[in-house]
Amino acid sequence: MNKVRRFLRAFFLVDIVQGLSITLRHYFGRKVTVQYPEVVKSLPPRFKGMLRLFRDEAGEPLCIACKACQRICPSHCFDIEGVRPEGSKVMRPTKFDWKLDRCTFCGLCVEVCPTDAIRFSETFRMSALGKDKLHFHLPDMYLRGEELQSHLCSGCLK
């Protein structure tokens, strides 16, 4: 009996029709393509975009040049030097180089930063013409969003 049923199912192409009906249903279903340049997916808060340095409300840099990020970085992206300005309690970076082309966006630097100075931005378009433009230097590390992007290593261009 089972054999007969199997034969009938095969002969009347039941499996074929079943497959076709599934694809037909999806034909009228929802389309998920995001039309990228016009529509950009909203990014989650923990999104790992380009790294940037932040300032506090008063506009003072948060970075104290403790080099914790430089030490933890598995791929040695950072090159940091700092001095203590006259009359200041904390160190300030005089050099803060970040090599985007080495970065693997693991986020260890963000986690170890004691002052939350280095954080991920939401900038994810990171292409540049030339490898040297992927090296960021100090003033640009404070840029944000579109500016950061359009200044992909403006320091080198100057």
Partner 1 sequence: MASKAFKEIDLNMGPQHPSTHGVLRLKVSIDNEVVLHVEPVLGYLHRGMEKLWESQTYHQIIPLTDRLDYLASLSNNLGYCLTVEKLAGIEVPKRAQYIRVILAELQRLASHLAWIGFMANDVGAMTVLLYGFEARESFLDIFETYAGGRLTIHGMRLGGVPFDLDETVIGMIRKVLETTPKWIADIEGLLTDNRIWRHRTEGIGIIPQSDALENGLTGPCLRAAGMAWDLRRDLPYSSYEDFDFDIPVRTASDVLDRYFVRMEEMRQSLRIVRQALDRLPAGEHIAKVPRTLRIPPGEIYHSIEAPKGELGFFIRSNGTDKPERVKMRSPSFINLMSLEQMCKGNLFSDIVGVLGSLDIVLGEIDK
Partner 2 sequence: MTGKAFLFELLIPVIKIVAVILYPMIMVVVMIWLERRVVAWIQGRIGPNRVGWQGILQPFADAFKLFFKEDIIPREADKLLFNIAPILVMFSTLLAFCFIPLGESFRIGTYTLHLRIADSPVGLLLVLGLSSIGVFGIIFGGWASNSKYPLMGALRSVIQILSYEIPIGLTVLTVVFLSRSMDLVRIVESQREGGVWFGLLMPVSFVVFWISGIAETNRAPFDLPEAENELVAGYHTEYSGMKFAYFYIAEYAHMVLVSSLVVILFFGGWLPPFPSIKAFAFLHWIPGFVWYLIKIMFFLYLYVWIRATFPRYRFDALIKLVWKWFIPLSLANFLVVVALRYVL
Q: What is the contact surface with partner 2 in residues (CB under 8 A)?
A: 16, 19-20, 22-24, 26-27, 29-33, 35
Q: Which partner in partner 2, partner 1, none is near 59 (CB below 5 to 8 A by kind)? A: none
In the bound complex, what is the minimum distance in angstroms from residue 151's beta carbon to partner 1?
23
Q: How far apart, in whole angstroms, are the C-alpha atoms of residue 132 and residue 65?
A: 24
Q: How far apart, in whole angstroms, are the C-alpha atoms of residue 87 and residue 42?
A: 44
| Residues whose CB falls within 8 Å of the CB of residue 142, separated by 6 or more in sequence, listed in order | 52, 53, 54, 55, 61
- Dihedral of CA 150/110/36/99: which sign? positive
How far is CA 133 from its chain centroid?
17
CA-to-CA dists, residue 70 to 52, 60, 96, 98, angstroms: 14, 21, 10, 10
Residue closer to partner 2 (CB basis): 25 or 46:
25
Q: Which partner in partner 2, partner 1, none is near 84 (CB below 5 to 8 A by kind)? A: none
Q: Which partner in partner 1, partner 2, none is near 112 (CB below 5 to 8 A by kind)? A: partner 1
**Which residues lie near partner 1 (CB under 8 A)?**
10, 14-16, 18-19, 22-23, 26, 32, 44-48, 72-74, 104-108, 111-112, 120
Q: How far apart, in whole angstroms, are the C-alpha atoms of residue 91 and residue 114?
A: 13
Q: Which partner in partner 2, partner 1, none is near 27 (CB below 5 to 8 A by kind)? A: partner 2
Q: Which partner in partner 2, partner 1, none is near 48 (CB below 5 to 8 A by kind)? A: partner 1
Residue closer to partner 2 (CB basis): 11 or 158:
11
Residue closer to partner 2 (CB basis): 14 or 20:
20
Nearest to 138 by CA among 118, 113, 116, 155: 155
Residue closer to partner 2 (CB basis): 37 or 59:
37
